[in-house]
Structure 1
């Protein structure tokens, strides 16, 4: 298993050719960010949604009744790490690069790093507001969400500087400049 991206488009009308190009960029960013963070295996699920979709999630999981640009739901930190599963579930696959840790090998959720949800309309408006391309804004939000999955936060100035510097390095390496 390698580091991979799965995605869902929940917006009315769904995905089209434009979104397929976005996914190529996001897969490149995931590879670069994963390499920089020493993450070489796992699954990240991305959901593209609209303002109401992300507002509902923000209300439900953060108690904030307003839309936002990106949300992350990690499967590897905090309480999420304690998810239990029934004995009858099988491992997530019979691949030759299996987990060396026996507990992880028998855990069907061990490959899941977490979920990232991005509001496409919010990304579009922020790209315009900040004067850069939509692809850069989408990439910024995606890398931001990925770093949150790994436990990074920006609750204070020092954490914010570290997290945003990491994001910028990944974006620069991918050619998504301002």
Structure 2
């Protein structure tokens, strides 16, 4: 098995070209390799500001749109209900064991930020995707050290994929 990307587009304001999806798949492989992760599945949903605002309010109690949200399936369980799945025989496979989690990106917010930062929308979406992926693996930026570590990892992945600033 390898790292797999399952994606959907739930917004109609900005086109998501197929080469961008190929680039995101490349970023997933590079980031996974850098983290020593070879197997798993990530679900990516492109949305708009209205939908991500609703998710941000519902899941984080923050009443504004954001650029990216991550929902890890391989969490430590401290804030989530434990999921128990019993495998009845050796032939059955746990359907969530390979799921790393879900990433939701507001394409509208990504476009705003790409214009603010003076780089392409493709680069901004790539950055947000890698950022979300690192959150799925347990990284955070709640303090200066965590932020520096995430920033370094994100930039290394983007640079290796040719998406540097």
TM-score > 0.5 by shorter chain: yes
Instruction: Mark the CA change 1:172 to 1:116 in structure 2 (over 3 Å): closer, same or farther.
Output: same
| Larger helix proportion of the pair | 1
List structure 1 runs of 4+ shifted beyond 4 angstroms.
none
Shift of 1:72: 0.2
**What is the CA distance between 1:84 and its match in structure 2?**
2.2
- Rounded to whole Å, the distance in 1 between the matches of 2:121 and 2:41 is 24
Residue 151 in structure 1 maps to residue 149 in structure 2: no
Give aligned pairs, total: 163
The 5-angstrom pairing of residues 21-170 of structure 1 reads 21-79=19-77, 80=80, 82-85=82-85, 106-170=93-157
User: Residues 122, 156 of structure 1: CA spacing in aligned structure 2 closer, same or farther, 3 A cutoff?
Assistant: same
Gaps of 5+ in 2: none
The TM-score normalised by the length of structure 1 is 0.85
Segments of 5+ residues of structure 1 without an aligned counterpart are 95-104
The alpha-carbon deviation at position 133 of structure 1 amounts to 1.0
Answering whether residue 6 of structure 2 is matched by residue 6 of structure 1, we say yes
Please tell me the root mean square deviation across aligned C-alpha atoms, in Å.
2.1
